[in-house]
Structure 1
């Protein structure tokens, strides 16, 4: 999976196709299921900028428009969140659900673009217009039609998807489209893996068991916020944005290590009781210290909550957060050794529902709108991963505005990469570029350095819980 941003996405010219969803045959029904915590925060912060996630992948030959329309309809019917929407009534966010069998997809007039930049602008503008948090549908269903190799592309407001979902959507659409293309009416979409309904997950989330105030995990959460004056930690280096201000978003996408080097670094991290994610976080902490940000890197990191079978193939926003402090030492390997246990403890704190943490705090005081966080996704373990390279799969994020830094680390068969989001003023750009350059150098140096007797007796790195941290 290529993880990138829309300003860097330059598809080959072709005819941009899109489909609208006709809802005249269905009356939306008010749902008793409230928005999830993530959805509520997202809806409350909705503004003029679209926060969407998109995917694209290639398909041989011209687009079979009938087959793709049927594939999109089947995708909507398969995933409950895609036939639901949100509206605001009396300062309350209300979920509405629509009968997918009553929906009809209509093809819109195509847009022909003779240059990559013109095509990107057409796709970008359509994604911004289609992917919004309120109303139905909250997504774009599209394609780029070409003679030899076409592209299937779709995007979704963040309220309905997370990074894991994008891999599921690629996998589902690939099978649905080619199934309908080959089999026409004989194709049975029910042959896909069983998928749960994210709306059911939201219902279960609203009834989660309360964690007591004396629970050690809750106490750890409260200590974390107490040490940061009751608000989430911010990026420890100056980005040139005063609290309350925002700047145009900068985006940086770069490869840290190729495939073999990534495996070597992962081996070094495991041998020192940590994980690949822990190793990169350790390098980040060393860089922060080197650039004058202090010896501790405190952050929140998202992780998925797909802990039971119904949710493994479900589209939705299945994430929570956990707090972590990474304390740098004089030696990167020693920091990695310390980060491993800290990361494992942090994962356990992720079992405390965030709404309960905020309630225990008496509310969350945020210095900035954006939350400084670092995410990790190993795309090799997600549905459909074996096809990602063959079909040139892309995960594409929007570019809007920013007031803090955020980082998405991804591992694929090609290696280790990092996507960054930050305020693109002069100081913010200079700081983040220096930060990323230094992190990359430290990770590369760790791979190139001789490591003798790396395995630490009693290392429990292999016993770590799954760490696909997703945002």
Structure 2
């Protein structure tokens, strides 16, 4: 499944209809009619997101922050689809709940109100036929930008496009409703419910817990964490070792022009892209090589990122003219980043829709002569205990440290193959989508493994230097991963201790599909 922005999507043109949720039976202007007071607290990430939205103004004054899913359905049975969508909203209670300022005016506390199962209806508005896929995608993006407002309900909206091949469904959600894994779950669940509603066989879906229960439990746990908790102490040490700031993109250092000023407050346009790193067989060889040397796929990816960052980031005092290629002229230091972890700590949350994500800091030391085999154990050590740190919500960490912390360089990894329906995503033309971003210096890398291979989706400031810097890191990491895979593959014996950047071969050009 491709993870990208709407303008990069190959949308099939057709008849566009927008589907909007409304409280069932409530007359227009009825306000709180149908809503029931709900004592379950907001999660820390939800609260931070909504309070931030309150501070940022309303509507067009704020940049959108949505995630979306798009996929095809067989036929164009609007009645069956309506029944499927309503059953899906009933299945995930968080979509029937909203958080509002406790006093109705400001961010001093939030209260929750929730609609009961069966309390939602859908209203359909036909927008018309689009002959151009680009214009269609642009219009859907406009709808998502306008109607995924975290300060309103619904903070999600659906759209369908009827065409000669059937029907494409688009579902957009403000981030307060979903995380990246939730987006991956949607296609399988709704297709199951749609098939059952046509009529067909009963939907085969796992039981799910409510994100509202998770949020309330997480809140109670996080409230017990104090400023001398081990995880908070480690966060404080991490910040101290970085001059009191969270890490920036590593290639901004080394005497170059750098990315935009990390202290800048003015938002700037971000650009992005998507590149394949490995095909499926090479990804398996890479995993085997990592396991043979005491690591795993993620620690191998991190080791490669650290080595390429070291190579591209500058020279140390020993380097210079005449230095041996690949052995001298390398910077000593460490690779620093934040990485997300899921917080689905119980089986009932596994297939639940919600924002189940925490982040943890990474520090991977890299010396001038280090090889992949040297750095892999360091990457493994960096991940040890990281998931426990991520269990404490990032806004709670910021609160305890008394600092306004803003992630600037984030590396995410997800093995999408474990998601229900993953083998069928290609046939369904499924895609995961994100809103455009405005930020002066953030760089995000999303490294995803599918049945077709491994790709990286990324975004960065819209400057030429940032584009070149991120391209160098992405391309170099792909080449090094390919080299490590060759070292561990049968019939291609190479000493792992000799896997250095000077030995890199060109990255494989075989791609499973356009990215």
Aligned position for 1:423? 461
Instruction: Determine if contact 2:290/2:296 at 8 Å carries over to the other structure.
Output: yes
Aligned position for 2:380? 340
* TM superposition score normalised by structure 2: 0.82
> Residues of 2 paired with 1:281 and 1:44: CA distance?
33
> Residues of 1 paired with 2:226 and 2:179: CA distance?
29
The match for 2:312 among 291, 314, 339 is 291
Residue 206 of structure 1 aligns to a residue in which SS?
Answer: helix
Aligned position for 1:147? 164
TM alignment of 1:214-293, pairs within 5 A: 215-238=229-252, 239-242=258-261, 243=263, 244-292=265-313
Which has more radius of gyration?
2
> Residues of 2 paired with 1:245 and 1:260: CA distance?
44
> Residues of 2 paired with 1:394 and 1:111: CA distance?
23
CA offset at residue 337 of structure 1? Answer: 2.7
TM alignment of 1:182-201, pairs within 5 A: 182-183=199-200, 192-201=205-214
- When structure 1 is superposed on structure 2, of 331-340 and 311-320 the one drifting more is 331-340
> Residues of 1 paired with 2:107 and 2:148: CA distance?
22
* Structure 1 residue ranges without an equivalent (≥5): 456-471
Aligned position for 1:70? 83
> Residues of 2 paired with 1:454 and 1:446: CA distance?
7
Aligned position for 2:437? 400
* Structure 2 residue ranges without an equivalent (≥5): 27-32, 57-61, 253-257, 315-330, 498-515
Aligned position for 1:412? 450
Residues 148, 56 of structure 1: CA spacing in aligned structure 2 closer, same or farther, 3 A cutoff?
Answer: same
* TM superposition score normalised by structure 1: 0.89
The match for 2:403 among 364, 374, 377 is 364
CA offset at residue 305 of structure 1? Answer: 1.0
Q: Residue 34 in 1 paired to residue 41 in 2?
A: yes
TM alignment of 1:437-448, pairs within 5 A: 437-448=475-486
The match for 1:86 among 88, 99, 114 is 99
Q: Residue 120 in 1 paired to residue 137 in 2?
A: yes
Aligned position for 1:207? 220
Residue 245 of structure 2 aligns to a residue in which SS?
Answer: coil
Instruction: Determine if contact 2:69/2:187 at 8 Å carries over to the other structure.
Output: yes
Instruction: Determine if contact 1:72/1:141 at 8 Å carries over to the other structure.
Output: no
Instruction: Determine if contact 1:230/1:365 at 8 Å carries over to the other structure.
Output: no
Aligned length: 447
Instruction: Determine if contact 2:484/2:496 at 8 Å carries over to the other structure.
Output: no
Aligned position for 2:501? none
> Residues of 2 paired with 1:164 and 1:11: CA distance?
22
Aligned position for 1:374? 411
Instruction: Determine if contact 1:20/1:107 at 8 Å carries over to the other structure.
Output: yes
CA RMSD of aligned residues (A): 2.2
> Residues of 1 paired with 2:216 and 2:411: CA distance?
28
Residue 327 of structure 1 aligns to a residue in which SS?
Answer: strand
